């Protein structure tokens, strides 16, 4: 994902801002990392360039 995706995504639970932590980046493309809600603290993984912003209760089942 590109960092400017943060302009349009938010925490699926409370719609607050997400904070980006980058683990791996290639040519401005964030390959892995974490998005953390600045309000509730829920953490959402970025894997293979795709942020998983499913609410936690759907993340396990799918």
Partner 1 sequence: MSDLADRRGVETEVYQPAEDSMLLADAAVAELAADARVLEVGTGSGVVAERVRDAGANVVASDVNPHACRQARERGVPAVRADLVAPFRDGVFDAVLFNPPYLPEDPAAERDDWMEVALTGGETGREVVEAFLDDVARVLAPDGYVLLLVSTLTGVEEVVAYAGDRGFSAVALRDESFPFETLTVLKLVR
Name the site residues for partner 1 (rule: CB under 8 A): 1-2, 5, 7-12, 15, 48-55, 58, 62
Least distance (Å) from partner 1 to the CB of residue 15? 7
Q: Please give the backbone phi and psi of residue 18, each rounded to the nearest 5 degrees, phi first.
A: -110, 140
DSSP state of 54: S
Cβ distance to partner 1 smaller for residue 9 or 20: 9
Least distance (Å) from partner 1 to the CB of residue 41? 16
Least distance (Å) from partner 1 to the CB of residue 20? 14
According to DSSP, the residues that pair with 21 across neighbouring strands are 34
């Amino acid at each position: 994902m590109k960092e400017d995706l943060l302009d349009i995504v938010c925490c699926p639970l409370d719609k607050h801002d997400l904070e980006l932590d980058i683990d791996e980046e290639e040519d401005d493309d964030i390959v892995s990392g974490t998005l953390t809600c600045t309000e509730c603290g829920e953490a959402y993984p970025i894997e293979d360039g795709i942020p998983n912003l499913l609410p936690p209760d759907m993340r396990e089942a799918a």
